[in-house]
Amino acid sequence: MAKKVGRRIISVMNKKGGCGKSTLVRGLASVAIDRGQRVTIFDTDDNAGIYHWKNDASAQGYWHDMAEVIATLSAEEVISAINAIYEKPEEDHLILIDTFGGGSEAQDEMAMESHLIVAPCRPSSQDVRDTTETGMWHVRLKDRVTRPENVPPFRVIGSHVPQKITESAGQQLGIMFDSLPMLDDFVLVRACYERMNDSGLLGVVRDKHPNRSLAKSLQDGIKEMGDLLDEFDRIIKENE
């Protein structure tokens, strides 16, 4: 029997577009659903990419009724919906906030609702600079709030990391590990994530897609994202 993890809120944040936020959110949601947990995603990006992904996945039959996506630019709406979730009976429920990044009072408010803030970062110089700025926002957040001890922990994860690491990527990863609160694991470049982005939740695609040969490659992604979710849950538990 799977261990109970309860409700937890993870903000996936970076000011840099194309850093891997959406892939991470979709992957974590896929794993939670595959484990029988409820999922709520707040899509607070202007382009509403996660919201459109959910609609496309539903149309193709690769969605799940225990997953919900709420597209909103209002921090008040996010907080109100989270409060409503916490008024319901306790259950294993992964709440993900897909957000652009720090820099506004609304972003501060959503971050303070979270148990953990995660910033995906590609191994490129521009991404490292932008992620460093996101990290500085997190540091400054502690100066802006009345109870800095309640600011959630911040972690960086390498995203779109090639399975065979190039010299350039290796150099940037070295900089990231030297200067940022990095996780040891990466989100690798995998064909299954392209399939997920085009089709829907990984486990649902695995179980329902007519091409059964896809199952192995999809399971590799589920395993990778599952390891990440386990690590996030561990960090959250340590900081309770």
38 vs 110, more confident? 38
Whole-number pLDDT of residue 102: 56
Name the least confident of 110-124, 172-186, 205-219.
205-219
* Mean of pLDDT values over 93-114: 84
Could you tell me the strand order of the sheet in which 67-71 lies?
A: 67-71, 38-43, 93-99, 7-13, 116-121, 154-161, 182-188
β pairing state of 154-161 and 38-43:
unpaired
Whole-number pLDDT of residue 72: 94
The pLDDT of residue 179 is above 80: yes
In order of 69, 76, 131, 145, the CA distances from 126 in angstroms are: 30, 32, 9, 29
Domain ranges of the chain: 7-209
Give the other-Cβ count within 10 Å of 240's Cβ: 6
β pairing state of 7-13 and 93-99:
parallel
Q: Where are the alpha helices (DSSP H) in the chain?
A: 21-34, 49-60, 75-86, 105-112, 125-144, 167-179, 191-199, 202-208, 215-238
CATH superfamily to which 7-209 belongs = P-loop containing nucleotide triphosphate hydrolases (3.40.50.300)
The pLDDT of residue 3 is above 90: no
Report the predicted TM-score, pTM, of the whole model to 2 decimal places: 0.94
3 vs 96, more confident? 96
15: phi then psi, degrees, rounded to nearest 5: -75, -15
Residues in the chain: 240
Give the Cα separation of 6 and 39 in Å (integer).
11
